[in-house]
Amino acid sequence: MKKILIISDNVVGEHFIKRVIEASTGENIYYVVQLKPKKYEDANPSRFKFYEFDPTSFYKIANLLKMEFIQVVISMNKQLDVNYTIKNIRNIKKQLRIVILSKWQQDYEDSNIITINANEILASRLLDYLPNMPVIAQNVGVGEGEIMEVSVPFGSSFVYKHISVIEQKDWRIVAIYRERKLLLPNRHRMIQPNDILILVGEPAVLKSVYRAINRELGQFPEPFGSNLYLYIDMNIVNLSKIDDFISRAIFIHKKLKHKLIIRIINPGNISVIWKIKEYRSENIIIDIEYENYDLKKKFFKDLKNYHIGLIIVSKEMLKNYNMRKTLYEAHVPVFKIADKDYSSVKEASIILGENRDIEKISSTIFDISEQMNFNIELYNYMSEHQEAKEQVIEHFNNLTTIFSKSIKIIQENENPIKLLKQKGNFVQILPFTKKLTSRNIYTLLSTDTERLYHKLDDYHQIFIPVQI
């Protein structure tokens, strides 16, 4: 977490703090110093720390500067107060970057002090209202964040992805800057490390896209959510195997190091319920729903309230047609636990389909494999559509460089499902698309390996939504 210090004693500073609270992505911690206490709604106490004192006092600010900040932002009414505050900071931190909102014509010789002239900004904004004058990008639209510029870091989940496989719902990549040159996006263009993307879309959606682009390996189930959700319908699950089922779910929970919420619906066996309650701990929450109406509505409410990023179900629940449709509508990864031992799984197996949905979830595949210590096996069924498959293989090979994780490419003329059914144990990872919600009887004559996922029902499977 990066620490940022904000020093404010005026209205502009208050508005700035409000905007920071609204725009916060949870990646920074803000320490706010004000002369008078002011309450800010929606300020996350774990991300915003508030202090009331005069920053021109060296003694008071010195205590705060014992921490390591990466930047200071100053918005104060009096030039003299700004200068004394800077002097206090420089007595302790010689190289700390300082950003000042200034209404005065004052230059600083210090190269680590950046001055933002408030008068120039206001004049520039007024200029936009004159006829026949160009509008700069930051002032296009209603100014609520519907246009965003994002730099793609080397380890991003977007690196080496083709534009055509990036699900762009309610947002679009409208331009790419590479080595200071403008590139117009097309279906075949591949995103490179350090590219700058210009995004247009709904402000709330763009915040999620920003988090997805900057997501690092080891964060799963982010960006889908932060906690795990074990969903048990006692009318569907095999109660004789429920103890092993929960034990495997807890093993996954310990590997991913996130809270586990166990939700029980249709509770019909008291002895089983009491046994499940024995698993309750600081990081395992047991929640029993005794009323059996509006269960679907309550399910989606749980996902929101608990900020769920991974749903864990039994194979019996995934077989249920209505349950499978509900899981798809959640747009959250689903981990289906089979009857086989999970702790012995060493390989994550992926079958290349006829489309390129696998490329859309590639970074999540690497993330899961890294956290679970899986080897990645990529099965290429040598049939038609080989050009698209070769592009997916190229993409995976590029990702091995980023994530320092090798993969095994298996070229086969035989249907990979037959080969995988001969393996002892593995976990299959596949994209969770709408076609997986159709009834299994309609797939009898299908050759689509994704539609035939149920042929590997005896093995653990992870279904990843293609949406961000």
Please list, in sequence order, all residues whose beta carbon lies within 8 angstroms of the beta carbon of residue 390, skipping any fewer than 6 positions away.
Answer: none
Contact 50, 64 (CB under 8 A): no
User: What distance, in Å, lies between the first and last C-alpha atoms of the chain?
Assistant: 23
Kindly list the structural domains of the chain, giving each domain's residue range(s) and its CATH number in brackets, ordered by start.
2-127 (3.40.50.720), 137-213 (3.30.70.1450), 227-327 (3.40.50), 347-465 (3.40.50.1980)
Name the nearest CA neighbour of 29 among 65, 68, 2.
2
Whether the Cβ atoms of residue 339 and residue 458 lie closer than 8 Å to each other: yes
Q: Using 50, 70 and 90 to split pLDDT, how confident is the model at 238? A: confident
State pTM to two decimals.
0.63
- The strand pairing partners of 162, in sequence order, are 190
Q: What angle do CA 322, 337, 462 make, to 5 degrees?
A: 80
CA distances from 379 to 148, 370, 451, 456 (A): 38, 19, 16, 14
* pLDDT-derived band at 141, boundaries 50, 70, 90: low
Q: Look at residue 134 in the predicted model and tell me its pLDDT.
A: 42
Interaxial angle between packed helices 386-403 and 362-372, expressed in degrees from 0 to 180 and rounded to the nearest 10:
50
Which residue reads 């026949």 in tokens?
Answer: 132
Q: What is the pLDDT of residues 285-296, one digit of tens each?
A: 999 998 888 899
Reported as a single tens digit per residue, the pLDDT across 346-383 is: 999 998 877 778 888 888 898 899 888 899 999 887 76
pLDDT of residue 468: 57
| pLDDT over 90 at 74, yes or no | yes
Q: Give residue 154's pLDDT.
A: 75
Task: Please report which residue ranges of 283-385 form alpha helices under DSSP H.
Answer: 295-305, 315-319, 321-330, 357-360, 362-372
